[in-house]
A and B are shown apart, each in its own frame.
Chain A
C-alpha cells in the first residue's frame, strides 16, 4: 500500500481500516491514507488480550511478564499497522509518539500512586484530636495521640530557616545580577553551584560539629533550622537569580534615564517586576527543605512532648515522627497503630507542601504585572 497513489491510474478500493481509503473517491496526490482515530485503542486492547491469553496458556505467575508483553505488543503492533496503511513517515511518528506517551505515563503513574497510597493510608487516622494532641504519654501500643507537637516543630523550623535563608538568597541573587562583574562574582556563582549538591547529612554534620560538639550543646531546634538554611540558600540564590534576569534590561535603562539611582531602581522597578517569580522561587526553596530528615536526626532529636522553644531541648518534627513511629528510634518494630500514625504524619507533610505551593501560586498571581 502506498501512502499516495503516485503515478498511474487512480485506484478505487473498498473502505476498510486496513487500507484507509474511502470508497469511490478518486485518489489525489495530496491525500494520504490514515488509520482511523480508534486505532491506538484497538491496538491496546488487542495487545492486552494477546498478553493475557499468553499468560493463561503459558501459566505465567504474577503480572510483570504479561504487562511487559502487552506493552511490547502494543508498540510493535501499532507501528506495523501504521506502516502498512499510512506509510513510513507516519509509522515513525507513531512510534516516537508512543514512546513519549509511555515515558510520560512511566513518570506520572508512580507519583500518582504514591499520592494515592499516602492519601488512603494516612487519611484514616485524621481526626480533630490528631491535629491538636501530641504523643505525650501515648505508648506505641496505645491508641490516640496526635502530631500537634511535630506539626508546630516543622512549621517553626521551616519558618526560622526561611527567615535566615531567603533574604541571604535574594540579596546574593541581586548582587550577582545587578552588581557582580569580576572574579568575586564568579567565585560566588561557583560556590553556590557546589553548595547545591551538598548532601543534607553533610550540612547536618557541619552544624553538629560546629555547634553541638564545638560548644558542647545538646540537640535543639535552632541548630536544625541552621542546617536547613544552609540547604536552602543555594536553591534560593539560583532560582531568584533566574527570576531577576528575566526582568528586561530596557526597564532598568528607562529608570536610569530618569535620573533614578541604582539602588532605588532595584528596589522600585526590578524587584516589583520580578516579585511573582521571586515568590515562586522562594516557595521552591521552602518545599526543598520541608521534608529533610537527616540534619534533624543529628541536631534536633525527637520528643513526644510539645516544645515551643527552638533554643532548648529536643523538638519534634513531622519527618522525625514518621521515623519514630516506625520504631527506629527505640530500636523496636512497628504495629498497626504506629504505622497508621506514621502515615498520618507523612500525609500531613505532603499536604503542607501542597498548601504552600497553592498559596504561592495565588500570591504570585496577585503580584503579576497586569496588562489590562
Chain B
C-alpha cells in the first residue's frame, strides 16, 4: 500500500517567481524522509508539490514530473482531488474542523467527500485511526465532544488520525511538532516510528535533532543566495548527513554556522 515517490527535475513557481529549482529526489516506500534547511528555502513548498496542494495557492504552478509508484501526479488528465486522497498531509498548526465532533473529524475524509458508509463501518474506521494515532484511549469516552476542545498535542494527533483514516499511501507532515511542547513532540515522534511500518512518510522540520531521531534519509535544501530559488543540495542517509556530509553548505548548516 505504501508507495515510492520519484521526483524528476521539478521547478516550483509562484506566478513568475521561481521558488524551487531543479529538485530531484527518490523516496523509498515505508521509509521516513526528513526535509531540513533554513527558513524560506522552499522545503514546505516542495512538500506541497508532492500532493498537488501547491496549486491551491493563486499563481502556484509546477513543471517536471512527480511519479507515485511510476504514475505521474502531474500527468494529463490527472485529478488533483484523487491525488490528495492518496497522499495525505498534516499541517504545522493543528486544524480540526470546529463545527464537528472528534468522531466526525476523524471520519471527515469520508463524510465531507460524500461517500456513504453505515455506522458500524465508520465506528471501525474511527477506532482504527484513533488507535493508529495513539489517541484512542484518551478520547474514546468523549467522541461526540467538539474537536476543538482538545489540547494542542491531542489536536495534532487528531489531525493525524483524520489523515490516516482515508488510508493514504504517503503521509506528508509539514513541521507537525513546531507548535507543540516537548512531551507532545515525543508522542508524535513515537507515532511516526510506528506509522513507518504502514506508510511512506516525508516530514519537514526545523529541528535537526528531530530529523536525526526520526528519519532514515534526510534531504537538505538551501537558497543559492538572497532572492535566488531554493535547491536540493544534498540527499543521503541521515547518519551520513549528520556526521559526514558531502557538501560544505550542508556541513555549515548542520554545525549551526548559518540558518
A181 to B57, CA, bound (A): 12
Contact at B89–A369, with CB atoms within 8 Å? no
Residues of chain A within 8 A of B159, CB atoms compared: 254
> Could you tell me how many residues of chain A have their Cβ less than 8 Å away from some Cβ of chain B?
24
* B256 is an interface residue with CB less than 8 A from chain A: no
Contact at A259–B82, with CB atoms within 8 Å? yes
* B183 is an interface residue with CB less than 8 A from chain A: no
Residues of chain A within 8 A of B162, CB atoms compared: 254, 258
Q: Which residue of B lies closest to A251 (CB)?
A: B95
Residues of chain B within 8 A of A268, CB atoms compared: 111-112
Residues of chain A within 8 A of B98, CB atoms compared: 251, 273, 369, 371
A258 to B96, CA, bound (A): 12
Chain A 221-265, CB-CB to B under 8 Å as 1, else 0, gives 000000000000000000000000000101101111111110011
Chain B 82-119, CB-CB to A under 8 Å as 1, else 0, gives 11111011010101111100000000110111100000
Per a CB cutoff under 8 Å, which of A250, A261, A272 touches B81? A261
Contact at A257–B53, with CB atoms within 8 Å? yes
* B146 is an interface residue with CB less than 8 A from chain A: yes
Contact at B91–A269, with CB atoms within 8 Å? no
Nearest CB of A to B53, in Å: 6
Contact at A255–B112, with CB atoms within 8 Å? yes
* B130 is an interface residue with CB less than 8 A from chain A: no
Contact at B146–A258, with CB atoms within 8 Å? no
Residues of chain B within 8 A of A369, CB atoms compared: 98-99, 146, 148
* B166 is an interface residue with CB less than 8 A from chain A: yes
Contact at B85–A253, with CB atoms within 8 Å? no
* A370 is an interface residue with CB less than 8 A from chain B: yes
Per a CB cutoff under 8 Å, which of A260, A273, A371, A372 touches B112? A260
Per a CB cutoff under 8 Å, which of B114, B145, B166 touches A258? B166
> Could you tell me how many residues of chain B have their Cβ less than 8 Å away from some Cβ of chain A?
33
Contact at A256–B84, with CB atoms within 8 Å? yes
Given A253-B53, A253-B56, A253-B95, A259:B109 Cβ within 8 A: yes
Contact at A372–B149, with CB atoms within 8 Å? yes
The prevalent SS among residues of B at the interface is mixed
Nearest CB of B to A275, in Å: 8
Residues of chain B within 8 A of A251, CB atoms compared: 95, 97-98
Contact at B95–A248, with CB atoms within 8 Å? yes
Contact at A257–B51, with CB atoms within 8 Å? yes
Q: Which residue of B lies closest to A273 (CB)?
A: B99
Q: Which residue of A lies closest to B79 (CB)?
A: A261
Per a CB cutoff under 8 Å, which of B58, B112, B145 touches A181? B58
* B41 is an interface residue with CB less than 8 A from chain A: no
Residues of chain A within 8 A of B51, CB atoms compared: 257
Contact at A250–B146, with CB atoms within 8 Å? no
Residues of chain A within 8 A of B36, CB atoms compared: none
* B163 is an interface residue with CB less than 8 A from chain A: yes
Contact at A254–B112, with CB atoms within 8 Å? no
A370 to B148, CA, bound (A): 8
Contact at B113–A260, with CB atoms within 8 Å? yes
Q: Which residue of A lies closest to B162 (CB)?
A: A258
Residue among A250, A260, A369 facing the most chain B CB atoms (10 A cut-off): A260
A293 to B109, CA, bound (A): 50
Nearest CB of A to B4, in Å: 20
Extra contacts, 5 of them, besides A259-B83, A372-B149 (Cβ < 8 A), are A250-B95, A251-B95, A253-B91, A257-B91, A261-B81
18 residue pairs A–B, Cβ–Cβ below 8 Å: A250-B91, A250-B95, A253-B91, A254-B162, A255-B97, A256-B84, A257-B84, A259-B85, A261-B81, A261-B113, A264-B113, A264-B114, A265-B112, A268-B111, A269-B97, A369-B146, A371-B146, A371-B149
Residues of B within 8 A of A (CB): 51, 53, 56, 58, 81-86, 88-89, 91, 93, 95-99, 108-109, 111-114, 145-146, 148-149, 159, 162-163, 166
A-B complex: 9 closest residue pairs judged by Cβ atoms? A259-B85, A369-B98, A257-B89, A259-B84, A258-B109, A268-B112, A254-B95, A250-B95, A272-B99
